[in-house]
Chain A
Amino acid sequence: DIQMTQSPSTLSASVGDRVTITCRVSQSITSRMAWYQQKPGKAPKLLIYKASTLESGVPSRFSGSGSGTEFTLTISNLQPDDFATYYCQQLYIFGQGTKLEIK
């Protein structure tokens, strides 16, 4: 079975900062990685699919990269609305989540 490790679990940052979240997978999944943003009590919102394709309507300050076993989500110029929890996903498996908090 594929194992997924997402880091960090918590991230403190300020408005305007650039942050990076990483997911490592135990075996190659080529570019089959997605990233989501979730706020409390709400469904996850798709940000990125196929590792680097921005979902329609998602601001360009969100970007994804990587292939094989290591993937990153980068958020540039953090905005107040970006403080939330982020998950990586390879179809049947979700990462443990990264809570992005205001410093």
Chain B
Amino acid sequence: QVQLVQSGAEVKKPGASVKVSCKASGYTFSGYHIHWVRQAPGQGPEWMGWINPKTGDTMYSHKFQGRVTISIDMSVTTTYMEINSLTSDDTALYFCAREGMAARLRTEAFDIWGQGTLVIVSS
């Protein structure tokens, strides 16, 4: 079935980096944008950026520009999100999500989500 499966929880110290993976299966990987969204404890979702698997093009939220890198490995249908210079404010559940398509057009809505990866930043 169509699914996104993310890597496991991470505990990092302030100043470190973390790289989370998101493996897609069950659909044509190149046909759909993949977005990354995070959710801090008790807060709403926050969009971080997207990647177009077909072209490798990326776009980032201004908040994360320069500190987050989204990349892709087509050979294993996997997207990665790396965030540098971690602080305690980066403690959150990180999700990858597929943007849907309808009639060959992007829907601007996320129809398939990964299960989430908890990143804890603590000294």
Contact = CB atoms under 8 A, between A and B. Distances in A.
A39 to B, nearest CB: 12
A33 B45 CA distance: 15
B115 A49 contact: no
Given A34-B108, A49-B109, A89-B109, A96 B44 contact: yes
Contacts, number: 55
Contacts of B110: 34, 36, 44, 46, 89
Chain B interface, >50% SS class: strand
Interface residues of A, number: 23
Contacts of B80: none
Interface in B39-63: 44-47, 61
B100 A94 contact: no
A92 B61 CA distance: 8
26 contacts: A34-B107, A34-B109, A36-B110, A41-B93, A43-B113, A43-B114, A43-B116, A44-B45, A44-B95, A44-B113, A45-B113, A46-B109, A46-B110, A46-B111, A49-B100, A49-B111, A50-B107, A50-B109, A87-B44, A89-B45, A89-B109, A89-B110, A92-B61, A93-B47, A95-B44, A96-B44
